[in-house]
Amino acid sequence: MKPTNHNVQLLCKLKTGIAPIVCLCGSTRFMETYNEWRAKLTYEGKIVLSVELVTTQTKSEDPQHSNHALKEMLDELHLRKIDLADEVFVLNVDGYIGESTRKEIEYAESKGKSIRYLTNE
């Protein structure tokens, strides 16, 4: 990648310790969108927090659904990521916001976090 003025400005900010932290929230059914935005935001010089465990099993075999304690732990872990973030970016593809994402948005609001949405639907 050829250096640009934008890259140089980002490097200067990063060297002075300024790197905004963004936490992605949304349904894991949209992992392609997660991957796209992780890359975009990283190239913008942001630290990106996201889901790290995604299973592709059917709902009956998915440990997040069959093991309630694991799902509860993973949900709590994502709230801690929101605590660390300066901004929450909701990946509401086609306007979809599921139950877990809605809870994360409510939590972020209660903590006074800046919240941005992929779509305004």
pLDDT (tens digit, 9 = 90+) per residue, 35-44? Answer: 999 999 999 9
β partners of residue 8 = none
* pLDDT > 60? residue 89: yes
**85 found inside a domain:** yes
Query: Between 55 and 70, whose confidence is greater?
Result: 70
The answer to whether residue 9 sits within a structural domain is: no
Count of domains forming the chain: 1
In a domain, 11, yes or no: no
> Residue 65 maps to which CATH number?
3.40.50.450
Instruction: Collapse the DSSP code of 67 into the 3-class scheme (helix H, G, I; strand E, B; otherwise coil) and give the result.
Output: coil
User: What is the span of the domain harbouring residue 66?
Assistant: 19-117
pLDDT-derived band at 78, boundaries 50, 70, 90: very high
Is there a contact between 86 and 114 (Cβ–Cβ < 8 Å)? yes
Residue 23's CB is within 10 A of a number of other CB atoms, namely: 26
One-letter identity of residue 64: Q
* pLDDT, position 121: 58
- Quick one: pLDDT band at residue 32, thresholds 50, 70, 90? very high
Note the helical H segments in 3-118: 5-15, 31-43, 63-66, 68-84, 99-110
